[in-house]
Amino acid sequence: MSPGISFFRPHIIPTVTMLVLVPLFIGLGFWQLDRAGQKRQLADTQETRRTAPVLELDSRMLDAEDVEHRMLAVSGTFIPEKSVFIENRKHQGKTGLHVISPMKIASSDRYLLVNRGWVRTPPKEEPSAVVRVTGRAVVPEPPAIQLGGGYAPASSQQRWPYFTLETYSAWSGLAVYPFMVLQSPDDDHGFVRAWVSKPVDETMHIGYALQWFAFALIVAFIWVRISLVKESGKEIVE
C-alpha cells in the first residue's frame, strides 16, 4: 500500500470567501495602524502646545485647530445673564453644574466662552469688572446621541443637559470663538476646577491591528487546509 498523497484542490465557495475576507481583514489592520499614527501625532501636538508659552488672546480671529490644547490668557468682562449651567456634572461623587460664561474681550466685540468650573447650584452674579482668565483651549464635543435632532433651549432657559457651540451661538446671538477655555485652577476667581485630561493611547489601535492581521492569517490557513485533499494510494501487486 503506497502512502496517501495530498492534492491542492481549492473549492469555489471557500476560495471566494477567502478572497473577500483576507483583503478585508488586512485593510482593517492597516486602517488601525493609521489610526495609531494619528493618535501618536495628536499626543505629540498636545504635548507641544501644553508646554508652549501662554498665548495672549486679543481681538484676532483664531481657528480652533490652531489653539486647541494651548494655554491662553485673556482679559475681559463676564456676562452672567448669558451664562449657561450644564447639568449632571460630577465632582467627588456629588452632582452639580458646570458654569459656562461668555467673556467680552477687552477692546473687542468678540466673546470667549469660559468653563469656570463646578458648582452645586447656579450662582447669582452681577456684571463684574474686568478680570483676567487663563486656561486651556478646548473644543466641546457634542453627545454621542442627540435625541429629537438636537437641543433647542428657550431664550430664558439657562440650565442645559449638554453643551455645543452651535446651540450656544444660536441661543445667545453672540459672536463667540469656535472654542472655549477651561479656566485654570490657579486663577483666584471661579468655582471648583478639577479638569481631567483623557490620555491619548495608541496601543489600543495597535492591538486591534494585530487582531485583524491574525484573523486574515487564520482564514488563509483554514482555506489551505480545506483545499488540501488527501487520496489513498493504490495497492500494487506483482
Average of per-residue pLDDT across 214-219: 96
The model's confidence at residue 1, banded by pLDDT at 50, 70 and 90, is very low
> pLDDT tens digits, residue range 203-213?
889 999 999 99
Q: Are 153 and 167 in contact (CB under 8 A)?
A: yes
pTM of the model: 0.71
Question: Taking the CA of residue 147 as centre, how many other CA atoms within 13 Å lie in the half-sphere pointing to its CB?
Answer: 2
Tell me: pLDDT of 29 over 80: yes
Cell 481631567: give the residue: 196
> pLDDT tens digits, residue range 35-52?
988 888 877 777 777 777
- What pLDDT is stored for residue 207 in this prediction? 93
> pLDDT tens digits, residue range 51-79?
778 888 876 777 888 888 899 999 999 99
Tell me the pairing of strands 71-78 and 131-138.
Answer: antiparallel
Q: Among residues 230, 141, 235, which one has the least CA distance to residue 180? A: 141
Q: Are 62 and 68 in contact (CB under 8 A)?
A: no
Residue 156 exposed, middle or buried by CB count within 10 Å (0-12, 13-18, 19+):
exposed
- What pLDDT is stored for residue 141 in this prediction? 82
**Mean pLDDT rounded to a whole number for the chain:** 85
> Rounded to the nearest 5 degrees, what angle is found at the Cα of 71, between the Cα atoms of 68 and 75?
110
